[in-house]
Amino acid sequence: MRLLVKAPAKINLSLDVLHKRPDGYHEVKMVMTTIDLADRVELMDWYSDTIQIISHNRFVPDDERNLAYQAAKLLKEKVGVRRGVAISITKYIPIAAGLAGGSSDAAATLRGLNKLWGLGLSLDELAEIGAEIGSDVPFCVYGGTAIATGRGEKIEHIPAPPPSWVILAKPTIGVSTAEVYRNLQLQSVNHPDVDGMVAAIREKDYEKICALAGNVLESVTLNMYPEVAQIKEQMRRFGADVSLMSGSGPTVFGLVQHDSRLQRVYNGLRGFCEHVYAVRLIGERHEQ
Let me know if 263 is exposed, middle or buried by CB neighbors in 10 A (0-12, 13-18, 19+). middle
Q: 58: which DSSP letter?
A: T
d(CA 102, CA 282): 19
N-to-C CA span, the chain: 20
CB 55 within 8 A of CB 91: yes
Is 62 assigned a catalytic role? no
On the CB side of 106, CA atoms within 13 Å amount to 31
Among residues 6, 10, 76, 232, the one annotated as catalytic is: 10
CB 7 within 8 A of CB 140: yes
Is 136 assigned a catalytic role? yes
Q: Which residues contact 155 (CB under 8 A, 6 or more apart)?
A: 127, 138, 139, 142, 146, 147, 148
Among residues 16, 39, 105, 136, the one annotated as catalytic is: 136
SS (H, E, C) 84-147: EEEEEEECCCCCCCCCCHHHHHHHHHHHHHHHHCCCCCCHHHHHHHHCCCCCCHHHHHHECEEE
Residues annotated as catalytic are: 10, 136
